[in-house]
Structure 1
Amino acid sequence: MPYALFSNDAKLSKAYPTAADVWKIARKSGLVVDVVSGQDNTGPRPVLDHDYEIRPCQLEPHEDPARNKADAERDAQTELQLAS
């Protein structure tokens, strides 16, 4: 089942093969913050900022989650090369 980033009922991202893939894209986009709970001694945990959520989604016509993931990885690699 593909996953995407949502705000309320609006789909904000492309579909990706797993929720972990969407977390990775959200973190890279600056949408993930680390919070510390006063009741939890395990340290900070990542949460999505601004009430975003990652959940299963319906694919758009002709959308390929595997291709979306490959495109995102290629874009990230290109950004690394340009930064060095």
Structure 2
Amino acid sequence: MPFALFCNDAKLSKAYPTEADVWKVAQNSGLVVDVVSEKQKAAPRPVLDNDYEIRPCQPEPHEDPAKNKADAERDARLEPPLGS
């Protein structure tokens, strides 16, 4: 089952083959922040900003999650890193 980025019930991203693929896209888009808990001050953990969440989804009829992943990887190689 493919995964996508959601805010509330709105699908915000294309569908990707795995949850890890969506995390990469969210990270490259600046939607991932590091959070430090009191218990784990030395090890911040990445979380999605605001009300974003990654959920399983059905791809759109014309959509190919594997192609979306390949396109995102190509775009990440071509674009400068966020914040530079």
TM-score (norm 1): 0.89
Q: Aligned with 2:79: secondary structure? A: helix
Unpaired runs of at least 5, structure 2: none
Amino acid at match of 2:51: D
CA RMSD, 1 decimal: 1.1
Amino acid at match of 2:73: E
Give the CA deviation at 1:55.
Answer: 0.7
- Distance in 1, matches of 2:42 and 2:67, equals 36
Give the CA deviation at 1:40.
Answer: 2.5
Query: 1:21 maps to what in 2?
Result: 21
Unpaired runs of at least 5, structure 1: none
Instruction: Give the % identical residues.
Output: 77
Report runs of 4+ in structure 1 exceeding 3 Å deviation. Answer: none
- Distance in 1, matches of 2:76 and 2:28, equals 9
- Distance in 2, matches of 1:41 and 1:8, equals 29
- Distance in 2, matches of 1:27 and 1:45, equals 13
Equivalent pairs counted in the alignment come to: 80
- 1:30 matched to 2:30: yes
